[in-house]
């Protein structure tokens, strides 16, 4: 019993659990090593919306890049290359007074 592998879970006091790990697992019966614990193989219940998949993250990056390009193009069309762009920190009232 003393020579068996120990559970690797972190306790609330900050130390590691001193209970023996379940045979063939890294955790004790109280920290998830019990029979039937954990998600089933190929669990599709965890996929709720897919908002953080690689494809969606990459699509958001591309959309953000397109939006930056569109804003830059509109700013250049409105102000031209010789005139500085307006300050982003100005509110609607300050922009009306400047024009």
Q: Is residue 90 part of a domain?
A: no
C-alpha to C-alpha distance for 67 and 89, rounded to whole angstroms: 19
Which range among 46-55, 67-76, 80-89 shows the weakest confidence by mean pLDDT? 80-89
Domain ranges, residue 21: 1-35
Q: pLDDT tens digit string along 4-50?
A: 889 888 888 988 898 998 888 888 888 887 787 777 777 777 677 88
55/29 same-domain check? no
Q: Is residue 88 part of a domain?
A: no
Q: Is residue 45 part of a domain?
A: no
pTM beyond 0.85, yes or no: no
Q: Is residue 31 part of a domain?
A: yes
Q: Which two tokens stand for residue 80?
A: 């031209």
28/1 same-domain check? yes
Cβ atoms of 83 and 76 closer than 8 Å: no
Q: Specify the residue for token string 């004790």.
A: 28
Q: Is residue 97 part of a domain?
A: no
- Structural domain count, the chain: 2
Chain mean pLDDT for the chain: 80
pLDDT on residue 1: 67
Cβ atoms of 19 and 28 closer than 8 Å: yes
């Amino acid at each position: 019993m003393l020579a068996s592998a120990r559970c690797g879970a972190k306790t609330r006091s900050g130390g590691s659990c001193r209970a023996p790990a379940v045979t063939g697992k890294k955790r004790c019966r109280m920290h998830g090593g019990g029979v039937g614990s954990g998600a089933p193989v190929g669990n599709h219940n965890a996929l709720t919306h897919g908002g953080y998949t690689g494809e969606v993250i990459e699509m958001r990056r591309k959309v953000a890049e397109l939006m930056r390009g569109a804003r830059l193009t509109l700013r250049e069309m409105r102000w031209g290359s010789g005139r500085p762009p307006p300050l982003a920190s100005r509110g609607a009232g300050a922009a009306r007074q400047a024009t």
